[in-house]
Structure 1
Amino acid sequence: MTLVFAASAQAAEVKIAFVNSSTLLEQAPQADIAKKKLEKEFAPREKEIRDAQQTAQNLENKLNRDGVTMSDSERSKQEQELNRQLRDLQRMQSNFRDDLNLRKNEELGKLQRVVLSAIKDVAKSKGYDLVLAEGVVYAAPQVDITNDVLTKLQQDVKSGK
């Protein structure tokens, strides 16, 4: 009878692993690639905003410096131009933030899919039945496969996946 229970317990043994997905999302080389891609994509608009800020700052400085000697109509015209530039700048900044956040979320979604695929690949190749992620209070080092998955992600980048 004891042998039957031992064999039954052994057959029901489940191989479990843990992965720290936050670490993977931060340290995956794909995350750096996505970040550089976004920086390159948004660099021209960021420069345009900096230029618009500088233009508005220059106009404000001119008004502060020369406003006293300007005629009322000229000063009023310059103040209206400054206000227009500041509104345009705020609109540009708002659109920039919205577009950047949208693209960041798109890239994060892609990265999450890549990381999930790598976790599944590592789990299958190492014979794990269950892989846990967030919400785990404790995971012993021998069940933590985070480094294995990170290695897989690095290999995928090197192989062009």
Structure 2
Amino acid sequence: MKQFFYIAGFSLFLSTCAIAEASDKIAVVNMSSIFQQLPERAASAQKLENEFKERTTELQGMEHDLQTKIRRLQRDGFTMKPSERISMEQEVIQQRESFSNKVQVFDQDNRRRQIEERNKILERIQNAVKKIARSQGYDIVFDQNAIAYVAQSKDITDDVLKQVQ
């Protein structure tokens, strides 16, 4: 029975040592902070704005034209001939549907491109994290936003930011 307690105690000691050693190989990085500080993020936003500028202008023009027709219909609809009013109402409905479809396609394209650009930047950050972790001997790197507390000495955010820039 004594031997069992010795073995159990020794096993507990070894597992405590393994946990203590493993904790030395864990680091954290603040991914969102790095993402926000990168100049590529602003350049990417500008690139997307330029890419979609023509379509944005077109949609704004369509919206203005549609609003003008709706106001005219509301203002003059009661004094128009019934055939004119019906024709204008149908035109407004068709233009509204066309506008709505174009806005939906624009939003999907814009969202898709934003995700593509964001993923390119995140991939660069992820590669930098892997490189820093390997060079400094870390086995595990967590995102700081997923952890309640970590010692400052285990934070590699500044190293990763230098690597990415």
TM-score, normalised with respect to structure 1: 0.79
Structure 1 residue 153 and structure 2 residue 150: aligned? no
Structure 2 gaps of 5+ residues are 1-13
Match of 2:63 among 32, 53, 59: 53
Query: Residue 69 of structure 1 aligns to a residue in which SS?
Result: coil
Structure with more helix by fraction: 2
Q: What CA distance in whole angstroms lies between the structure 2 residues aligned with 1:113 and 1:51? A: 37
Match of 2:150 among 139, 143, 146: 139
- Paired residue for 1:101? 111
Mark the structure with the bigger radius of gyration. Answer: 2
How many residues are matched? 146
The letter of the residue matching 2:153 is: Q
Q: What CA distance in whole angstroms lies between the structure 2 residues aligned with 1:28 and 1:130? A: 24
- 1:82-122: CA deviations, max 9, x gaps? 11110011101111111111112212221211110121233
Match of 1:26 among 36, 45, 56: 36
Moved more, 52-61 or 113-122: 113-122
Moved more, 128-137 or 19-28: 128-137
Q: CA RMSD in A?
A: 2.2
Query: Residue 146 of structure 2 aligns to a residue in which SS?
Result: coil
Q: What CA distance in whole angstroms lies between the structure 1 residues aligned with 2:67 and 2:161? A: 46
Q: What CA distance in whole angstroms lies between the structure 1 residues aligned with 2:66 and 2:91? A: 9
The letter of the residue matching 2:69 is: L
TM-score, normalised with respect to structure 2: 0.77
Shift of 1:125: 4.0
Query: Residue 17 of structure 1 aligns to a residue in which SS?
Result: strand
Q: Percent identity over the alignment?
A: 36
